[in-house]
Amino acid sequence: MSYIEDKVVVITGASSGIGEATASYLAENGAKVVLAARSENKLQQIVNRISSNNGIAVYKAMDATNKEDVQALIDYAIEKFDRVDTLINCAGLMLFSMWDNAHVDEWEKMIDLNLKGTLYGIAAVLPHMKQQGKGQIINVGSIAGHAVGEGHGVYSATKFAVKAITESLRKEVSVKYNIQASMVSPGVIATNWQDTVTDSDVKGVLNNLDEVAIDVKHVAKTIAFVVDQPSDVLINDVLVTPTAQEW
């Protein structure tokens, strides 16, 4: 029996990387997916591809750092499908840099998206899930939220925060409201994320990571495993990393 089939799943950061792969995989397995990101063109292409394969998908262009946009996303999903069974907070930025180069603008971008974006998603969907008496909130963390490396400082801080948020949320809503709060933490994934790094001093630290990176589909399957649980089963935290990753 599949618990993915017919679930209404909202995914932020769904225009590329983990979000896109997860949306496609869940749709292939019978979920009704609501894709959200800033790039409307990319979202439309992904929805068209899912629909051409007989999947059910809609999209809403939005900015996860804007709390009104996030609330509008949840409202849109309920308008389309009458409910939200699962929210996957996947939108995120990984901008590694060295402390002494003080990329403060990039620090703020990561805090706004990785941290505030996750909080906005929880705030928007929680009242609805409380009312329906069940639901799943899956926060995408990172191995950097469990171990800190050179150049990872602020990024790791945001992902450690996501871990704390998820654990606290779990303690408050799982028993009381039957809402599952989970976190999936990927290691090095082949998503071309290094292209967004601007700090030349940190690029040397990243050069060897491509050699061990695994395909994003493995993270999508791990997230799908969490989604594919009945309401009385909670997968707390999952780390999925390359076998060859040393940290």
- What span, in angstroms and rounded, lies between the C-alpha atoms of 112 and 119? 10
First-to-last alpha carbon distance for the chain, in angstroms, is: 36
Instruction: Give 235's DSSP letter.
Output: -
- What span, in angstroms and rounded, lies between the C-alpha atoms of 161 and 111? 10
Extract the runs of DSSP E, i.e. beta strands, from the chain.
Answer: 8-12, 32-37, 56-61, 86-89, 135-140, 179-186, 237-240
The token pair that represents 238 in the structure block: 């999952």
Using only the alpha carbons of the chain, give its radius of gyration: 17
- What CA–CA distances, in Å, run from 186 to 66, 211, 214? 25, 16, 10
- What span, in angstroms and rounded, lies between the C-alpha atoms of 16 and 179? 27
> Is 155 a residue of the active site?
yes
**Which residue among 25, 59, 120, 155 is the active-site one?**
155
- What span, in angstroms and rounded, lies between the C-alpha atoms of 141 and 90? 8
- For residue 212, count CB atoms less than 10 angstroms from its CB and return exposed for 0-12, middle for 13-18, buried for 19 or more: middle
Three-class SS of residue 202? helix
Q: Which residues are catalytic?
A: 155
